[in-house]
Amino acid sequence: MKTYQIKKGESFASVAKRYGLSASELAAANGLRDPFSVAAGTKLQVPDPSGDSAASSAQKLSAAENRLQNAGTYSKSAEVRAAENALAKAEAAAPGSYRGQFEASVKKLYDDYLSAPAFSYSARSDPLYLSLRDQTLASARRASEDSLAGASALTGGMASSYARAVAADAYSRSIASLADRMPELYNAAYDRYRDANELRADRLSAAMKLDAAEYDRYRDTVADYFDDLNYYYAKYGDLSKRDYEKYRDNIDLWQKDRSYYYTKNADAIDRERRDYLDGLDLYLRERDFEYQKSQDALAQQNRTHEAAQKQENYNREFEYRKSQDALAQKNRTQEAAQKQQNYEREFALQLRKFEQDQIEFAEQQRQFALKQQQFEQEKKEFEEELAFRKYSFDKELNYKKGWWYL
């Protein structure tokens, strides 16, 4: 046995052929399960070539045929099964439909915002007005009494029409001051109403932001799921392809090994038979020459026909297996492409629907804001006109009340 280092550009099979060995013999001598993985620079132990006797060739042919028969059908390796299990787990981890915990809060706050009552003002239900009215009436009574007392003092302590007019005027002015405060009370009530609406809008906006943030996290989860699914599917496909190619390479190696020993065994048998026939020919040359010649030709024809028939059967079987493997791979590729296309189509539809809903919601918000702004402007103009009319009416009424006291 000698040692040989593989040089750059050489293959495992070429080294075996150089020393008159088959690839399986050289692999067995070095304990290699996958000779295709041997790289340049590897040192190999090269055994001495075996003899060329028919018995030795027949034994090696039988061993090669046993190896090929024991190869069996293709079975997935542990690495491929692990990748397949990882892919199944990734598929099972698909996130469910989106269900936000803030959707109910957003709907409730939105309904509350839309159902807010329109602004209305009633002085009789305004605590600030009632308190101010009580204070004004008390002040008017005191002013009237003070004015009546002062005017009576000028006439010697006797009440007169002048004293009563002065008291009524003082009372009217005090009452008129309450009417002057009405626009202020109205504006204060409207400010409170507006603050309450703004608080509802702020709460709705905060809930919508929380819901949007939660949906963004859900979309990130979906994106991560598809990234993981594509990764595990690609990994499983690569490992399966490499594992099956290794299996096919080993089958091809064993078939070449069997073919090599078959030819070698046939050649050894032919050589022994030729030696025998040559000796027999020397002994029976005169008698059996023509007969032996025809028998040799017939035997050679039968061997050639048998070998051709076996090769034809092998080629037919190999092409059939090859076509079946290609058909299976094509079906798997089409199924994977269809599945990926379905996933992408469904995701694109959901995304377009979500974007359209967002656009419609924004347009509704804009229309609502415009109507609200128009309503507020009309309401303000109406309230200003109402306040002005009320002020004019109260002033005219107080003026008439003053004349009545006179």
Q: In the chain, how many domains are there?
A: 1
Biggest CA-to-CA distance, the chain: 192
Q: Is residue 220 part of a domain?
A: no
Q: Look at residue 228 and tell me if it is in a domain.
A: no
Q: Is residue 298 part of a domain?
A: no
Which residue shows structure tokens 């699914």? Answer: 229
**Contact by Cβ (8 Å): 182, 388:** no
pLDDT at 406: 45
Contact criterion met (CB below 8 Å) for 56 and 50: yes
Sequence letter at residue 82:
A
Report how far residue 68's alpha carbon sits from residue 60's, in angstroms, rounded to the nearest whole number: 12
Phi-psi region of 77 (alpha: psi -120 to 50; beta: other; left: phi over 0): beta
pTM of the full predicted structure?
Answer: 0.34
30 in a domain, yes or no? Answer: yes
pLDDT at 174 (0 to 100): 63
Per-residue confidence in pLDDT tens, the chain, 406 aa: 788 888 887 777 778 777 777 777 787 788 776 666 677 888 888 886 654 445 566 666 676 667 666 666 777 788 888 888 888 888 788 887 777 777 778 788 778 877 777 877 777 777 877 777 777 767 666 666 666 566 555 555 545 565 556 556 666 666 666 677 778 777 887 888 788 888 888 887 888 888 788 878 888 888 888 888 888 889 888 888 888 888 788 778 777 877 877 787 777 777 767 755 655 555 556 666 677 788 888 889 998 888 888 888 888 888 888 889 889 899 888 988 898 888 888 888 988 888 898 898 889 888 988 998 888 898 888 888 888 888 888 877 776 666 544 4
Residue at 398: amino acid letter: N
HEC sequence for the chain: CEEEECCCCCCHHHHHHHCCCCHHHHHHHCCCCCHHHCCCCCEEEECCCCCCCHHHHHHHHHHHHHHHHHCCCCCCCHHHHHHHHHHHHHHHCCCCCCCCCCHHHHHHHHHHHHCCCCCCCCHHHCHHHHHHHHHHHHHHHHHHHHHHHHHHHHCCCCCCHHHHHHHHHHHHHHHHHHHHCHHHHHHHHHHHHHHHHHHHHHHHHHHHHHHHHHHHHHHHHHHHHHHHHHHHHHHHHHHHHHHHHHHHHHHHHHHHHHHHHHHHHHHHHHHHHHHHHHHHHHHHHHHHHHHHHHHHHHHHHHHHHHHHHHHHHHHHHHHHHHHHHHHHHHHHHHHHHHHHHHHHHHHHHHHHHHHHHHHHHHHHHHHHHHHHHHHHHHHHHHHHHHHHHHHHHHHHHHHHHHHHHC
What count of other Cβ atoms lies within 10 Å of the Cβ of residue 56?
15
32 domain residue, yes or no:
yes
C-alpha–C-alpha distance, residues 68 and 258, integer Å: 8
The predicted structure's pLDDT at residue 276: 53
- HEC profile for 255-292? HHHHHHHHHHHHHHHHHHHHHHHHHHHHHHHHHHHHHH
Q: Is residue 365 part of a domain?
A: no
Task: Indicate the burial class of 363 (C-beta count within 10 angstroms; 0-12, 13-18, 19 or more).
Answer: exposed
What pLDDT does residue 47 have? 81
In a domain, 7, yes or no: yes
Q: How many residues does the chain have?
A: 406
In a domain, 87, yes or no: no
Question: Residue 8: which CATH number?
Answer: 3.10.350.10
Domain membership of residue 14 as a residue range: 1-49
